[in-house]
Amino acid sequence: MSKIYLIGSLRNPSIPEVAAKLRGAGHEVFDDWFAAGPEADDYWQKYETNKGHNFKEALEGYAAKNVYAFDKRHLDRNEMAVLLLPAGKSGHLELGYCIGTGKPGYILFDSNGTMPDRWDVMYQFATGVFFDVNDLIKELDDKNHAASFVPFDMTTHTHFKGQQ
């Protein structure tokens, strides 16, 4: 069983469905961030704006620091990440962070199977790109990522001591 951080948009109603399919395939899936609801970012922005804060000041606030720490703790705890599209800047940053720490990171396009309107060559950073959740599940079943993952120390740019 793999521990997967499911990355996506608060406004993507497919998050719970994809999470359920991954769980049904025997994986532990973290998607609790989705409970904040589709307007959480809008409410945070309005709240901070009403306090007279700009974006930079809002990022230094307790709410922003708390949400960031919550998400980062679970990004670090999980063995891999799956970015479910459509998603925004935060989702892409989270996937990049996971890949940068040496964890597998997959991209799953919306399950309708259509190709994206705009193509992006940088998706080659991902461990794999999928257009069907069942194909992703098959890939995860074919690979034992948990055994092959070696934590990476971002401060020293080396693998943790005692591991290769």
State the CATH number of the domain containing residue 83.
Answer: 3.40.50.450
Q: 164 lies in a domain?
A: no
Counting every residue, how long is the chain?
Answer: 164
The three-state DSSP-derived secondary structure of 93-154 is HHHHHHHHCCCCEEEECCCCCCCCCCCCHHHHHCCEEECCHHHHHHHHHHCCHHHHCCCEEC
Q: 18 lies in a domain?
A: yes
Task: Grade residue 153 by pLDDT with cuts at 50, 70 and 90.
Answer: low
- Over residues 21-70, the pLDDT tens digits come to 999 999 999 999 999 999 999 999 999 999 999 999 999 999 999 999 99
Q: 47 lies in a domain?
A: yes
* Distance in angstroms (rounded) separating the CA atoms of residues 75 and 162: 22
- Over residues 87-139, the pLDDT tens digits come to 999 999 999 999 999 999 999 997 666 778 888 999 999 999 999 999 999 99
Q: By residue range, what is the domain housing residue 106?
A: 3-159
Number of domains into which the chain is organized: 1
Q: 62 lies in a domain?
A: yes
pTM for the predicted model, two decimal places: 0.84
